[in-house]
Amino acid sequence: MNVKAYEHTPVLAAEVIRHLACRPGGRYIDGTVGGAGHAVAILEASRPDGRLLGIDRDPQALRAAAERLAPYAERVTLVRGNFAQMEDLAMAAGWYEANGILLDLGVSSPQLDTPGRGFSYQHEAPLDMRMDPSIKQTAADLVNQASEAELTRILREYGEERWASRISRFIVAARRREPIVTTMQLVEIIKAAIPAGGRREGGHPARRTFQALRIAVNDELRSLERGLAAACRLLAPGGRLVVISFHSLEDRLVKRFFQERSRGCVCPPGLPVCACGRQAELRVLTRRAVVPAGPEVEANPRARSARLRAAVKVMVSEEAE
């Protein structure tokens, strides 16, 4: 793959920099460095001596990031891995605290636009969907081996697909005739499963199924839970955590995590002394999710579904207040 093809416009770049509060000398982690669009903005905002640790599970993304970040090489460390293991990856690289951490979730535009990766329902390709090619299970493996009940659960839980049980039934019937190995095979099965009226609603009929399979193959939601917890531990007091999500499942998970970690004492009212000893770890900076303005959506339609949430790690002095 040509690394130039991995370049893309970072979503909500100005809002990311503002909520990270980038400054000279700061240490920042981009847990989903991708084509390095946000990474460049962070490095520019933290000149002349701010440092960046970039993490990505996709080796193609890391090659593209290395090329794009070559002018900043002395201030950048790139490592391959899942941000769910961020804490271990950071410590192995000599990073024990960070002033800011960014997670830009989901599949990237370059991954969608590379037909051979199998993420897109618009192109004929092997049914793959792995962000990390070293993962053993592909989307084709899942579609051809999972039970009908398990497929229904995945489509309903991860895709919020109204026709989950019907699509699963059609998949199982189709795979009895021949293995389902390409994206277009699956798209045609989905179209056949959804009644005509349903196909006229909510965009492409395969969108939710492809989202659900991608989330399952890459274990995205569990990785997000683990990554958020790791980020919270890695942040220095006063450090910022910024997360950009692209569908409601991710956004709800991030919102709940921020709410839970920003709660202090949970003892029943009326106790003379706190018995739980619980203290807030985060203070939420975004009362509501930040969304792209009209001009950004016009220039980059894929930014339409982006939702940014941010929080700051509570300092000891704040906990005592």
- Quickly state the pLDDT bin for 232 (edges 50, 70, 90): very high
Given a contact cutoff of 8 angstroms between Cβ atoms, the answer to whether 34 and 107 are in contact is no
Instruction: Kindly tell me if the per-residue pLDDT of 317 is higher than 60.
Output: no
Q: Where are the domains of the chain?
A: 3-104+220-320, 118-218
Quick one: pLDDT at residue 280? 85
What average pLDDT score do residues 183-188 get?
96
CATH class, range 3-104+220-320:
alpha beta
Angle among Cα 17, 304, 224 to the nearest 5 degrees reads 65
What average pLDDT score do residues 215-219 get?
95
Sequence length of the chain is: 321
* Chain segment 69-121, per-residue pLDDT in tens: 999 999 999 999 999 999 999 999 999 999 999 999 977 767 766 777 888 89
Do the bridges between strand 282-284 and strand 307-313 make them parallel or antiparallel, or are there none, so unpaired? Answer: antiparallel
Which CATH number is associated with domain 118-218? 1.10.150.170
More confident residue, 209 or 115: 209
More confident residue, 111 or 225: 225
* Chain segment 265-303, per-residue pLDDT in tens: 777 777 777 777 778 899 999 999 999 999 999 888 888
Which of 263, 258, 317 shows the shortest CA–CA distance to 103?
Answer: 258
The first and second tokens of residue 21, run together, are 């509060």
- Quickly state the pLDDT bin for 185 (edges 50, 70, 90): very high
Which of 101, 29, 108 shows the shortest CA–CA distance to 64?
Answer: 108
The first and second tokens of residue 154, run together, are 């995945």
Given a contact cutoff of 8 angstroms between Cβ atoms, the answer to whether 31 and 101 are in contact is yes
Instruction: Kindly tell me if the per-residue pLDDT of 319 is higher than 60.
Output: no
Q: What is the DSSP string of 175-220?
A: HHHS---BHHHHHHHHHHHS-HHHHTSSS-TTHHHHHHHHHHHHTH
Q: Contacts for 134-138 with beta carbons within 8 Å, 24 or more apart?
A: 135/217, 135/218, 137/217, 138/217
Cα separation of 169 and 152, whole Å? 8
48 upstream amide cis, omega within 30 of 0: yes
CA of 177: how far to CAs of 124, 126, 138, in Å? Answer: 20, 18, 20
Quick one: pLDDT at residue 203? 81
- Percent share of the chain, pLDDT over 90: 75
Burial (0-12, 13-18, 19+ Cβ within 10 Å), 280: middle
Instruction: Kindly tell me if the per-residue pLDDT of 321 is higher than 60.
Output: no
Quick one: pLDDT at residue 27? 98
Beta strands in the chain (DSSP E): 27-30, 51-56, 76-80, 98-104, 235-245, 282-284, 307-313
Mean pLDDT of the chain: 91
The first and second tokens of residue 239, run together, are 């450090």
Task: Check for a shared fold between 3-104+220-320 and 118-218.
Answer: no
Given a contact cutoff of 8 angstroms between Cβ atoms, the answer to whether 59 and 80 are in contact is yes
Instruction: Kindly tell me if the per-residue pLDDT of 181 is higher than 70.
Output: yes
Range in 107-116, 169-178, 180-189, 242-251 the model is least confident about:
107-116
Residue type, 307: R
- Quickly state the pLDDT bin for 212 (edges 50, 70, 90): very high
Question: Is-above-0.75 flag for pTM?
Answer: yes
